[in-house]
Amino acid sequence: MHLMSVNPGQAGPGSLGNEPRDAKDEQLDRFRSAPRHDALTTDQGVRVDDTDNALRAGQRGPTLLEDFHNREKITRFDHERIPERVVHARGAGAYGYFETTESLAEYTCADFLSEVGRRTPVFVRFSTVQGPRGSADTVRDVRGFATKFYTREGNYDLVGNNMPVFFIQDAIKFPDFVHAVKMEPHNEIPTGASAHDTFWDFCSLQPESTHMLMWLMSDRAIPRSFRMMQGFGVHTFRFVTADGRGTFVKFHWKPKLGVHSLVWDETQLIAGRDPDFNRRDLWEAIEAGEYPEWELGVQLVPEADEHKFDFDLLDATKIIPEELVPVRPVGRLVLDRNPQNFFAETEQVAFHTANVVPGIDFTNDPLLQGRNFSYLDTQLIRLGGPNFAQLPVNRPVADVNNNHRDGYGQQVIHPGTNYFPNSLGGGCPAHAGAGGAPGVFRHYQERVDGHKIRVRSESFQDHYSQATLFWNSMADWEKRHIVQAFRFELGKCDSMAVRERMVGNLAHVHPDLAAGVAEGLGLPVPAAAGTVTGAASPALSQANLLGEGIRTRKVAVLAADGVEVPPLEEVRRELVGQGVIVEVLAASGGTLTGKDSGTLKVDRALPTMASVLYDAVLVPGGDDAVATLAADPAAVRYVEEAYRHGKPLAALGSGSRLLAAARLPEAVAGGAGRELGVFTSAGSGGVARDFAQALGRHRFPNRPGLL
């Protein structure tokens, strides 16, 4: 099949009309279709002379049924929607590649992980979990991080999240969990939020959720960007060698830009100012050639060590602390191409945990085992039948050759026999891999011996130790944010019993946490429950995950006529040199007149943006410009809000008067500004470097007066 017709004017992103980037892109190109002719046709290819007026009996008469164009057009429109994903409905995706940087051939026969330098095409979809397709991006929620590797040995899907653990241990609880967290059934409230009774009712009765709740109440649940979050395969999987040797493995994605988050007040403002905040950020970065990148790391555990830990490797509510088993970097993921059609690609992509390739296998994690049923099942209803693997985004680049036939939307004309064994078709398709040939999936041969029982293993019963480990590992400001998040969420629950029960659970995690939350809710502080260890894992704190550089950080420059241009340009050069996006904002668009000479182009009008859409604010000097800005409440608000959200602020020369107009707390005016990320200077001298460094720290969470 070859639908492509090149029309460069309409090509958009992707390879239409350009050289394909890899095997997947080449395959996709065969399905891309840009309008070839000017003339409009029906689905049957019949040219149509009018698509604005239905066929009618007389100028003012009734519309006629025989107007096949009208009926086709409306029918096609009526059928445009498909069911959204039952969870993870809102998402954004991109293509790219995975490159192996360290061979894992010693542990797995997976071809794509065996050769250093091998590049495998991928499609990645990021998502929120709770909200519907149209919900806001910046809600407090887990983020999905699903990767489809189009390997030469078939598709491998790593369907992970940005948190390394999960709410439940057994997949049979998934419908209960999702019912509880989704909008309540009677009124479909709240959209994109877990701050409601049914969620906390469920969790408070389900202590196995506690560790995951710690992550969900932490800043991990409000990422600054999909490009700035970690990803985790969550489960313990199994690598298998060609001779059948197994090794346990956990997968980690680590973003090059570091792990950074929004702050809670900001997320709510962004939800109004730009509900597409994360989606837009991903799209724009890729369009700008700032390709997001992650390192793939693996934690490997020999089978002999399966029982050496004080938790069960099969329990998805547990991590393997990096201090016990280091994360070994083995590859990098780069996203370098936006999709061309959201529906065709991002909406129709179908992930499935059971899409594995030779060398990667499952463990008996009961959550994973259930997922292996659910994903195929859900695609059948969501994508309308069994042929969804033929959709362009889902097609493997490896050959597909079997006796599966027919079904809705079959795209392939299969001549010949459709059964096995056969002689009439020459015995084909034949069993692969006689004599141990490589590239054939062979299930790991695990000996299994047990009674048929509905029992949760004893080794799954410790629900609090790792929640405590997480708490202990947080910086003070991270702890503060966690307490505030619990207060907010539980404060939204009408049921006092739910609030109390949950606070009771938190007493098992840490007395400080329980006390902080209880005080915020006006509840009695519960007595400490059990012994709480002091163990910590520094790798869990975002304070230790700042990443490399400040590329794509966004700085708002507030300006008006009379702005001092040269010092600003000096700072701008320094920042842009480090990859920062600097945008000049003024009351209206156009060009500003500089103080003594020169002009300054306005990139955006102040009212169309907001401080929450930037990482930092810079105020250039120029008496007249600063006076204009200081008299504009919208400009003052940029400074004040950026300060209260902990973002770096800089003022050049008289620009500091705008900071004064924003009435920043005494401590800043009193000279403690530098340590708190607020920089002022007579000219531009030194500010650029300090400001850039401050951007690298992301936020100053210890400022007084933060929201």
Question: Could you confirm whether 161 is annotated as catalytic?
Answer: yes
Q: Please identify which residue in 96, 160, 673, 701 interacts with ligand HDD, judged by CB under 6 A.
A: 160
Q: Tell me the chain's radius of gyration from C-alpha atoms.
A: 28
β-partners of residue 122 are 96, 149
Q: Is 85 annotated as a binding residue?
A: yes
Residue 384 CB, nearest distance to ligand HDD (Å)? 14
Q: Please identify which residue in 374, 390, 541, 578 interacts with ligand HDD, judged by CB under 6 A.
A: 374
Told to check if 249 binds ligand HDD by CB under 6 A, we report no
Shorter beta-carbon distance to ligand HDD: residue 122 or 316? 316
Shorter beta-carbon distance to ligand HDD: residue 376 or 525? 376
Work out the number of other CB atoms within 10 angstroms of the CB of residue 619: 31
Q: Is 375 annotated as a binding residue?
A: yes
Residue nearest to ligand HDD (CB): 144
Q: Please identify which residue in 94, 146, 249, 498 interacts with ligand HDD, judged by CB under 6 A.
A: 146
Told to check if 378 binds ligand HDD by CB under 6 A, we report yes
3-state secondary structure of 599: strand
Residue 84 CB, nearest distance to ligand HDD (Å)? 9
Told to check if 372 binds ligand HDD by CB under 6 A, we report no
Told to check if 230 binds ligand HDD by CB under 6 A, we report no
Helix (H) or strand (E) holding 254: strand 246-255
SS3 track for 403-451: CCCCCCCCCCCCCCCCCCCCCCCCCCCCCCCCCCCCCCCCCCCCCCCCC
Shorter beta-carbon distance to ligand HDD: residue 254 or 645? 254
Interface size with ligand HDD, residues (CB under 6 A): 27
Q: d(Cα 578, Cα 324) in Å, to the nearest integer?
A: 36
Category of 285 on φ-ψ map: left (φ > 0), alpha (ψ -120 to 50) or beta: alpha
Told to check if 166 binds ligand HDD by CB under 6 A, we report yes
Instruction: Draw the binding track, 328-367, toward ligand HDD (x: CB under 6 A; -: no contact).
Output: ---------------------x-x---------------x
Q: Is 444 annotated as a binding residue?
A: no
Q: d(Cα 285, Cα 291) in Å, to the nearest integer?
A: 6
Question: Token pair 């500089």 is at which residue?
Answer: 594
Q: Please identify which residue in 140, 211, 254, 371 interacts with ligand HDD, judged by CB under 6 A.
A: 371
Read out DSSP for 293-307? EEEEEEEEEEGGGTT
Shorter beta-carbon distance to ligand HDD: residue 259 or 630? 259
> Is 360:405 a contact under the CB 8 Å cutoff?
no
Shorter beta-carbon distance to ligand HDD: residue 83 or 416? 83
Q: d(Cα 402, Cα 405) in Å, to the nearest integer?
A: 9
Provide the token pair at 368: 């994973």
Q: Please identify which residue in 28, 159, 556, 687 interacts with ligand HDD, judged by CB under 6 A.
A: 159
Work out the number of other CB atoms within 10 angstroms of the CB of residue 137: 29
Residue 342 CB, nearest distance to ligand HDD (Å)? 13
Question: Token pair 């002999």 is at which residue?
Answer: 304
Q: Is 405 annotated as a binding residue?
A: no
Q: d(Cα 338, Cα 155) in Å, to the nearest integer?
A: 20
Chain centre to alpha carbon of residue 237: 22
CB proximity list for 591: less than 8 A, separation 6 or greater: 599, 600, 601, 602
CA dihedral 23, 26, 31, 34 (to 10 degrees): 150
Q: d(Cα 463, Cα 509) in Å, to the nearest integer?
A: 9
Helix locations, 622-679, DSSP H:
623-630, 633-644, 656-661, 666-667
Q: Is 47 annotated as a binding residue?
A: no
Residue 88 CB, nearest distance to ligand HDD (Å)? 3
Report the site for ligand HDD in 285-324 (rule: CB under 6 A).
Answer: 316
Instruction: Draw the binding track, 184-223, toward ligand HDD (x: CB under 6 A; -: no contact).
Output: ----------------------------------------
Residue 256 CB, nearest distance to ligand HDD (Å)? 21
Residue 166 CB, nearest distance to ligand HDD (Å)? 4
Q: Please identify which residue in 171, 357, 521, 651 interacts with ligand HDD, judged by CB under 6 A.
A: 171
Q: Please identify which residue in 161, 194, 210, 218 interacts with ligand HDD, judged by CB under 6 A.
A: 161
Stretch that binds ligand HDD, among 155-163, 307-315, 526-534, 674-682 (CB under 6 A): 155-163
Stretch that binds ligand HDD, among 166-174, 291-299, 384-392, 468-476 (CB under 6 A): 166-174
Stretch that binds ligand HDD, among 207-215, 331-339, 370-378, 383-391 (CB under 6 A): 370-378
Helix (H) or strand (E) holding 691: helix 687-697
Q: Is 311 annotated as a binding residue?
A: no
Stretch that binds ligand HDD, among 86-94, 299-307, 544-552, 619-627 (CB under 6 A): 86-94
Q: Please identify which residue in 21, 85, 463, 481 interacts with ligand HDD, judged by CB under 6 A.
A: 85
Catalytic-role residue among 69, 155, 161, 338: 161
Strand segments (E) across 46-193:
91-100, 119-128, 143-151, 154-161
Shorter beta-carbon distance to ligand HDD: residue 137 or 640? 137
Shorter beta-carbon distance to ligand HDD: residue 166 or 199? 166
Helix locations, 117-188, DSSP H:
174-181
Told to check if 144 binds ligand HDD by CB under 6 A, we report yes
Q: d(Cα 585, Cα 595) in Å, to the nearest integer?
A: 17
Told to check if 253 binds ligand HDD by CB under 6 A, we report no
| Cα–Cα distances in angstroms (integers) from residue 115 to residues 72, 105, 122, 509, in the given order | 52, 8, 17, 44
Question: Could you confirm whether 364 is annotated as catalytic?
Answer: no
* 252: amino acid identity, one letter: H
Q: d(Cα 691, Cα 580) in Å, to the nearest integer?
A: 11
| Cα–Cα distances in angstroms (integers) from residue 133 to residues 13, 91, 126, 183, 221, in the given order | 23, 8, 13, 13, 18
Residue 231 CB, nearest distance to ligand HDD (Å)? 9
CB proximity list for 686: less than 8 A, separation 6 or greater: none
Shorter beta-carbon distance to ligand HDD: residue 254 or 595? 254
Shorter beta-carbon distance to ligand HDD: residue 375 or 441? 375
Catalytic-role residue among 69, 88, 211, 645: 88
Q: d(Cα 663, Cα 98) in Å, to the nearest integer?
A: 49
Stretch that binds ligand HDD, among 84-92, 422-430, 570-578, 581-589 (CB under 6 A): 84-92
List active site positions: 88, 161
From the annotation, which residues make up the binding site for heme?
85, 125, 174, 371, 375, 382
Q: Which residues bind ligand HDD (CB under 6 A)?
A: 85-88, 91, 125, 127, 144, 146, 159-161, 166, 171, 174, 234-235, 316, 349, 351, 367, 370-371, 374-375, 378-379
From the annotation, which residues make up the binding site?
85, 125, 174, 371, 375, 382
